[in-house]
Structure 1
Amino acid sequence: MKSIAIVLWCLLVAQWTYGQQKLTGTVKDENGEVLPGVNVLIKGTGLGTATLVDGTYSLTVTGKETLVFSYVGYETRELNVDNRTVLDVVLKQEIEDMDEVVITAIGIKQQKKKIGYSTELVDGGVLSQIPTVNAAMSLAGQVAGLQVSSPTGIFQTPEFELRGKTPLIVVDGVPVETDFFDISSANIESINVLKGTAASALYGARGKDGALLITTKSAQQDGVEINFQTNNMFTAGFCVFPETQHSYGAGLNGQYEFWDGAGGGVQDGDMQWGPKLDAGLKIAQWNSPIRDKVTGEIIPWWGNVEGTQYDDRSRYERVPIDWVSHDNLRNFLGTGIVSNSDLTFAYKGARARYYLTLQYAYQKGQVPNTKLNSGGLTFKASYDLANNVQLDASLSYNKVLSPNYPRYGYQPYNHMYNILLWMGDDVDIEELEKHHWVPGMEGYRQASYNYGWYNNPYFVIENFSQRHDRNVLHGQLRLNYQILPNLNVQGRASLRNYALYEDMKIPKSYMSRSEPREGEYRIWNTNRMNVDADILASYSQSLTDEIGLTVNVGSSVFYRSFREEYMSTDGLIVPEVYNMSNSQNPVTAENTLTEKSIRSVYG
């Protein structure tokens, strides 16, 4: 096993540069205290950095950019570089507008000064500054007490912790279960973070750990408005590649000779302390040709010889080849792409308002043959039935599709795990790319450097797949009646349907701790439906200049159904035929159905 000194996972944003220079500076507050962790972004791009513990930062620029300095609790500043090499910045502490109106639970609007709990608002413009497939990643560092994990792999879901607990996600007043892949950052007007149990008490048990209230955009300006925006970002490698030892190849105690990759040769297991690399040695390896000792014939070969005519060491031998090192991780990773496009139509008239947005996002992973597509549309309409009666309706559809997404974790199915930890530099990964199967055993046995646990990564890329096809439909109706200037009643109903199809195709000879080596085919069909309905009456009255009375009374109903069907073969009779009828043994089938209902009254 290789000795890893540093593992720093972060994407390196590729960019075209011309006439670059290094800009440095220090960010302080009004009292001269340094500010660590200040976001320093180049305006209009996703490029930037953050200040270190001593408040300093450094950035490569052309000299013509505008930098945006932002920090929680401080006013955001925009400054032009103007060809300077040193740019020091002082940030002023943000003074909260206590008359600012924020949206609290169940869509109730209140002034900050009248709220008895902690709340924090994030403008949607901040989220759209950085192009990401998942809008949640843009929340990192924006809210005090909100921890957001930012995984770099394709289709990895960010995780939220608000004061150490998982908050409820609410979209336009309706609690939803989402991983943010079906929410476009360009369609978010704002996110209000309600902290603590008091902030979300009206959501009952679902909101006991706080809530993220997402308000989506609607028509703002009179007349017709059309907007289109697209963002593209390239990712390549790491900021710092993990450091591993490159002096010795596979084997142990300076010895190695491949025969079957499972201990049948000389120390041909999975250790990486074999003979010294690049020392002019020739050693039998996984891609060494086979020589017939009797006839002298040389047969090209890749992988082990178990079960073939060459599995006779008294007659056949591996031909030693050059024992040299290869930069496998760099040769394996490709250039990733993140692309986001949004088209918006909006109309605002005297009585009617309409908003339609179409969005599409594409992500190509750095691991070959991995990609993610997501897109959808959202339509919102609002109509004034009378001066004091308003009807709102919205309908959205989102699709997330990945024909093959990579697996993560400390397991043999993780390509990084294999290449970094268990693949010696003696292995030529470009040879693995060219040869997936043992000659004459196509479909039955992969060609690999090891037959204990570790797969040929290109064999997995081309033959193992897991598909994710998700469709989310969300509709909502809201009727608001302003009975008196200080008395309002609103009723809402929403339905959210989540349908997911997944399948996994596991080829024969695939090596893992949990999957059979005879191949397998698995299918999941999941459907989740949420229905929410509520009615709320609000009354407010000023008693004196300093004292006011606000009363909210309401009731809500929540219903959820969850249905999942799972089927799996037990081995495959014919390789690469993924059908339940091709199972070696009886098929496994499972069905799950759960229902839940919550009825609430609050005041």
Structure 2
Amino acid sequence: MNKRFTLICSCFILFAFSGFAQQVVRGKVSDAGNGAGIPGASVLVKGSTLGTSTQPDGTYSITLPANATTLVVKYLGFLTQEVPVNNRTLININLVPDETSLTEVVVTALGIKRSEKSIGYSTQTVKGDNLTMTKEQNVLGSLAGKVAGVQVVGSSGASMGGTQKIKIRGVNSLSGSSSPLIVVDGTPISDANFSTDSGNGVDLGNISQDINPEDIESLNVLKGAAASALYGIRGQNGVIMITTRKGSKGVKKVDVRFNSGFSIEKVSNFLPLQNIYGVGNNQTFQTLANGDKYINGNDESWGPKMDGTPVRMYYSFYPQDAEYGKLTPFVPQPNNIRDFYETGKNINNSLSVTGGNENSSYRLSYNNAYINGTIPNTWLKRNNLSLSSDLKLTDKLTVGVNANYANNNGQRPEQGYQGSFSGATQWFQRNIDINRLRNYQYADGTIMNWNVNPNTSTGMITSANNKPSDWNNPFFDAYRSLNNDDRDRLFGDVSLNYQVLPELKLSAFVRSDRYTQNISHKEAFGGRLDDAYSVGKYQGIDNNYEFLGQYNKQFGDISLTGNLGANLYTEKFTQTFQATVGGLSSPDFYSMAASVDRPESTSYLRRKEVRSAYAMASVGYKDTYFLDASLRNDNSSALPKNNNSYWYYSVSGSFVFSQLLKWEPLSFGKLRASYALAGSDLKPYQVNPYYSPGSVYKNTDLNINTLLVPDKLNNPNIKPAFANSFEIGTDLKFLNNRLGFEFTYYQQKNKNQIINLSVSGASGYTTNVVNAGMIQNQGIEFSLSGTPIRSKMFSWDATLNFNRNKSIIKELYQDLSVYQLDINTYSSVNMYLNATVNKSFGSLVGQAYARDSKSGKILLGSDNLPLIENNHDFGSVLPEFTGGFLNSFKIGKFDISAMIDFQSGGKFFSWTKMLATKSGQAAETAVMNDRGANVRDPLTSNGGVKLNGIYGPGTKIAGVDVSGQEFNGYVDARSYFRNSIGTKVYEEWLYNASYIKLREVSVGYNFTEGFMKKTPFKSAKIAVVARNPAMIWQKAPKGLDPSELSTGSASISWLEKGEFQTVRSYGINLNLTF
């Protein structure tokens, strides 16, 4: 009995105390959207410091204390959930994405994802859908106005994917490029540009155009050195981080998406031209021996009035022409520039397949684009194929692949001075019927030219006088003198990821970017130049071998993140170029074997290696206080042995004061600050002296190969350049994230610049590689975003970006005060782009009007025409501020969006306007003056251009000193426009680059679910889009577009040298999901 009682009591006691025993809970944390397990999610016991992290498949196990009642589950980008235990041992949790958080998770350097609140520096993210709204030909061009602090200056759509120059927070280099590093899924890729000379060249654009915009999930811009320090020498100018779309693990399913776009492209924004006077140097017709008036091959329009007088046109000089010997009325052709261009077509189709299961995910996509250009016989074909996949080999080991293949094949136009008709606005005849030039070749092979003169005795053009003096028939150029290029490219990575512990992951990557670019040019027989052929082949291979260890652990209120890595970067670039010399032995036989003289042949090899080690740590306390630090060492083969190892570091912190303030209208508030040291090296082979192969010296007995001493003196003591960067800012969100504001003040000093300094020719060299100079960038940037209206049927989202930056030259080399960055020369008159100490970067210096020091009036000479002041400083070409304004509306099933970007200040120099005026084509050369006569009428008939000025010192007229006296009268129009200001007063052709431009417009309709049930599709959207539909306002004259200046120095665009007109695109896009 006693034994039974004892046993029963013991059971009761054990049962009673079981309520105080520990309990083990297991389960899985999944994404409520797709059912995929979430690795690394925090599972915490509310009210205690106990917690754990989920495994790679989302599973977890945690031992609870006896008093535990609730689990708290957290993961970046998802709403935190509190889950009651209720004595359960199996608890599965589905986390819901935090839709109200605008940028909760940010992709930072090395592809590491971090909470927005923990970052102590400025970044800004653009969603992929905002980059593909209007199918921009080069995806980088879609960034214009969408990121504060980022300036994009592009090129005309006529160039088909032409150059996009991007600067982040100003200019960082005196002699090199300020372009940012582009990283796709963690792989740095080349953004090389193989465009030829802008004076008579082809704009092939940046090779970043190989990125398929339809693959982009998001694009994040790392602006300051603190953000990009972990990329070392390649990240000093900022980093553009591109994350592509991926498959998702979880429930086994397959999604198929098809996007199709078609648009037409129209050339617009033509320079206003006069339609009163035709070809010639004066207003008198020339005559043939038989008395017929005729039109010569002059390329100016200072001739007689186009009043219908019967004349012999250029085509009437060819015996092969049906109108040979006939007279034609001399009349204007108002559309002879516009009518050369065609309606372009852009067809873009994209197909993607996405899927996954519990152990794998994948996404396969294909994109095909075909552009039929606005310039006759120009086109571009693109094909992109990409694969993104990862596979869980074991519970801890995952292998991943990102592979992107791109092929570009194009036939492109020449632009610039003497390019494919872009020079026609500069030098041409206002009387030429452009359509008459289309059939440029007669049946016997003779080329029809306009820039030729007949034999005045016979009134005939034969093979002896059919060579153009300055300009070919533009259709001959378009169809016979061809520029072709093709490029194959493969970039991506293979990775292995091993989850050692829930909080520790080790990763290894092999990343590669390799391309082969072929470029050829054919100069056909029958033009102004000798027939010729050239080919170039350019191959680049960039490899990165990378190891990265990542540690993430939550210790109660303290979060700790650590990253330790190493990288080996290798670069190899080869170039071969061949060109015929002396013409071709047989017309249209395009081969080096056809070269009349020995063909030119050159080759080049460049190798570089950078070894790096880096570390980064981040500590957070109570999700309120965060402190980051990073350290990197680079060892570059391009630098001398004693200076090739250098360190970068960064320190940043953030304080999320909204965690403490608890003010209801404030959803999120953060203060942040950072300081960093970044740097850069130089291209290889600038340290030690070397010899270059020379020409072959021919002796009577043998040929001797020669070697040349380069004219640049290399520097064995060169050091890396460094940039000290500081920034401070705040991020605020109000009203449940419906209103957001980001503000940053920054200052960056780019020191120890590496430049080629001019030296005395007596030294045997022309330049010397030295460390010299400092550029200070200082500015502010802000982004204001919000949803002013949100309802079931209507919503309005808006984002305003703004940046104001000053780039000041603080110092140069020793006592040097001016360093020449670039030069532009026409007719022996120069315009210089200089870096001047204590002035803004990019000062334009050239000829200006000489002015009276008191009144500011123009000084005149004895001919009543303006006097010139040499070497006048016109100020910086850089803008005062830039920005953009994006609006998106949702009205029922309709989506409407519009993107505006703007710029205030800056300058650019226009060849087109200058030469259109000099040649007599510009509208102002034939306007009416205030006396009721055309300015081209004789002065005795009240013609002439009115001038008001003061005679300069020492000016005498008819022996009388008129110095200081005022002139208020009229001067001959041709003398003024052509001979005086035409190409002498560069001040006249310097324009303010301010503008407000409507970049993108889209109106889309989402088909209803009821309608889709009747189709095989899950969803469908159709949209009408427009790209560059309007220049709302600009300070520069009509016909010039300050947002499309692809020529200039390596860092900035300041020169308009005959770019193609703006192209406006209108189209329709269709998106289907299966």
Q: Is the TM-score greater than 0.5?
A: yes
Query: Which of the residues 346, 369, 378 maps onto 1:361?
Result: 369
What displacement does 1:467 show?
0.8
SS at match of 1:249: coil
User: Of 443, 448, 451, which aligns to 2:450?
Assistant: 448
Hey, what's the Cα distance between the residues in 1 that align with 2:478 and 2:376? 7
Map Cα deviations across residues 339-384 of structure 1 (whole Å, 9 max, x no partner). 2110111111010111110110111111111110001211121111
Q: Equivalents in 1 of 2:287, 2:493: separation in Å?
A: 64
Q: Partners in 2 of 1:208 and 1:302 — Cα distance?
A: 65
Equivalent residue number for residue 90 of structure 1:
none
Which residue of 1 is the match for residue 929 of structure 2? none
Partner of 1:262: none
> Secondary structure of the residue that 2:509 maps to in structure 1?
strand
Q: Distance in 2 between matches of 1:340 and 1:601?
A: 42
Letter in 2 for 1:199: A
Task: State the partner residue of 2:394.
Answer: 386
1:508 aligns to 2:525 (yes or no)? yes
Evaluate the alpha carbon distance shift between residue 359 and residue 508 of structure 1 in structure 2; reply closer, same or farther with a 3 A threshold: same
Deviations 1:381-423 (A, max 9, x none): 1111223322101222110001x200122x11231222x2222
Q: CA deviation at 1:582?
A: 1.1
Contact kept? 2:187, 2:492, Cα under 8 Å: no
2-side partners of 1:120 and 1:208: how far apart? 17
Deviation at 1:98, TM superposition (A): 8.5
Q: CA deviation at 1:476?
A: 1.5
Measure, in 1, the Cα distance between the counterparts of 2:287 and 2:161.
Answer: 37
The count of residues paired between Structure 1 and Structure 2 equals 469
d(CA) in 1 for partners of 2:426, 2:515: 39
Shift of 1:441: 5.9
Do the aligned residues in 2 keep the contact of 1:536 with 1:554 (CA within 8 Å)?
Answer: yes
Instruction: Give 2:161's match in structure 1, choosing from 134, 155, 179.
Output: 155
Inter-partner Cα distance in structure 2 for 1:258 and 1:483: 93
Q: Distance in 2 between matches of 1:121 and 1:251?
A: 57
SS of 1:270's equivalent in the other structure is coil
Conservation of the 8 A alpha-carbon contact between 1:468 and 1:501: yes
Q: 1:220 aligns with which of 238, 243, 248?
A: 248
Question: Superposed, which structure 2 residues align to 1:83-232 within 5 Å?
Answer: 97=101, 100-151=104-155, 152-153=157-158, 154-164=160-170, 165-178=178-191, 179-220=207-248, 222=251, 223-232=253-262
Partners in 2 of 1:454 and 1:302 — Cα distance?
24
| Aligned-partner Cα distance in 1 for 2:527–2:555 | 74
1:252 is aligned to: 281
Contact 1:490 1:536 in 2 (8 A): yes
Residues 181 and 400, structure 1, Cα contact 8 Å, conserved in 2: no
Q: Which residue matches 1:482? A: 499
Secondary structure of the corresponding residue to residue 430 of structure 1: helix
Worse overlay, 565-574 or 481-490: 481-490
Q: CA deviation at 1:258?
A: 8.3
State how far apart, in whole Å, the 2-side matches of 1:158 and 1:460 are. 26
Q: Residues 409-488 of structure 1 correspond to what in structure 2 (within 5 A)?
A: 409=416, 411-418=417-424, 420-436=425-441, 442=446, 447-450=449-452, 451-488=468-505
Deviates more, 1:555-564 or 1:325-334: 325-334
Shift of 1:424: 1.2
Aligned residue identity for 2:339: N
Q: Displacement of 1:581 after TM fit? A: 1.3
User: Contact conserved, 2:190 with 2:208, CA < 8 A, in 1?
Assistant: no
Deviation at 1:333, TM superposition (A): 1.2
**Amino acid in the other structure paired with 2:152:** V
1:557 matched to 2:587: no
Give 2:580's aligned residue. Answer: 569
CA distance in 2, matches of 1:106, 1:237: 42
Decide which moves more: 279-288 or 573-582: 279-288
1:323-352 deviation per Cα after TM superposition (whole angstroms, max 9, x unaligned): 112221222111111121101111110101
User: Secondary structure of 2:406's match?
Assistant: strand
Cα gap change, 1:302 to 1:189, in 2 (>3 Å) = farther
Contact 1:285 1:318 in 2 (8 A): no
State the SS of the aligned residue for 1:252.
coil
Q: 1:449 to 1:530 in 2, by over 3 A?
A: same
SS in 2 for 1:452: coil
Instruction: Quote the residue 1:583 is aligned against.
Output: 595
Q: In 2, distance between residues paired with 1:301 and 1:530?
A: 57
The one-letter code of the counterpart of 1:416 is S
Residues 310, 329 of structure 2: 8 Å contact kept: yes
- In 1, the alpha carbon distance for the partners of 2:366 and 2:432 equals 47
Identify which of structures 1 and 2 has the higher relative contact order when contacts are C-alpha pairs closer than 8 Å and 6+ apart.
2
Deviations 1:140-177 (A, max 9, x none): 11111111223222231222111123210001101101
Query: How does 1:55-74 map onto structure 2 within 5 Å?
Result: none
Measured against aligned partners, the alpha-carbon deviations of 1:434-473 in whole angstroms (never above 9, x if no partner) come to 2336x8563xx65233422111101111111011110002
Cα distance in 1, alignment partners of residues 391 and 519 from structure 2: 40
Offset at 1:431? 1.4
Measured in 2, the distance between the counterparts of 1:99 and 1:329 equals 48
> Quick one: which amino acid aligns to residue 552 of structure 2?
S
> Secondary structure in 2 aligned to 1:181?
helix
Residue 585 of structure 1 and its aligned partner are, at CA, apart by: 0.7
Structure 1, gaps ≥5 residues long: 1-94, 260-264, 291-298, 304-316, 512-516
> Is the Cα–Cα contact under 8 Å of residues 258 and 286 in structure 1 kept in the other structure?
no
Aligned AA for 2:614?
Answer: Y
Q: Which amino acid aligns with 2:414?
A: R
Correspondence for 2:330:
323
TM-score (normalizing by structure 2): 0.42
Once the 2 structures are TM-superposed, how far is the Cα of residue 280 of structure 1 from its aligned partner? 2.4
1:101 to 1:258, Cα distance in 2 relative to 1, 3 A: farther
| Matches of 2:287 and 2:396, distance apart in 1 | 83
Secondary structure at 2:227's aligned position in 1?
A: coil
Partners of 2:377 and 2:478 within 8 A in 1? yes
1:287 partner SS: helix
Question: Matched residues, percent identical?
Answer: 30
Q: Which amino acid aligns with 1:205?
A: I
Structure 1 residue 408 corresponds to structure 2 residue 415: yes
Provide the secondary structure at the position in 2 that maps to 1:462. helix
Matched residue SS, 1:198? helix
In the alignment, the residues of structure 1 paired with residue 127 and residue 103 of structure 2 have an alpha-carbon distance, to the nearest angstrom, of 17
The one-letter code matched in structure 2 to 1:467 is: N
Q: Deviations over 1:535-578 (max 9, x none)?
A: 11122344562x43322111001111111111110111211111
Q: Which ranges in structure 2 are unaligned for 5 or more consecutive residues?
A: 1-98, 171-177, 192-206, 289-293, 453-467, 616-1074
Of the structure 1 ranges 114-123 and 478-487, higher mean CA displacement relative to structure 2 is found in 478-487
Contact 2:437 2:448 in 1 (8 A): no
Flag the structure with larger Rg.
2
Question: Distance in 2 between the 1:392 and 1:488 partners?
Answer: 14
What is the DSSP-based 3-state SS (H/G/I as helix, E as strand, rest coil) of the residue aligned with 1:434? coil
Aligned-residue RMSD, C-alpha = 2.4
Counterpart in 2 of 1:529?
Answer: 541
Q: Please give the alpha-carbon distance, in whole angstroms, between the structure 1 residues aligned to 2:609 and 2:553.
A: 35
Query: CA separation in 1, counterparts of 2:322 and 2:422?
Result: 22
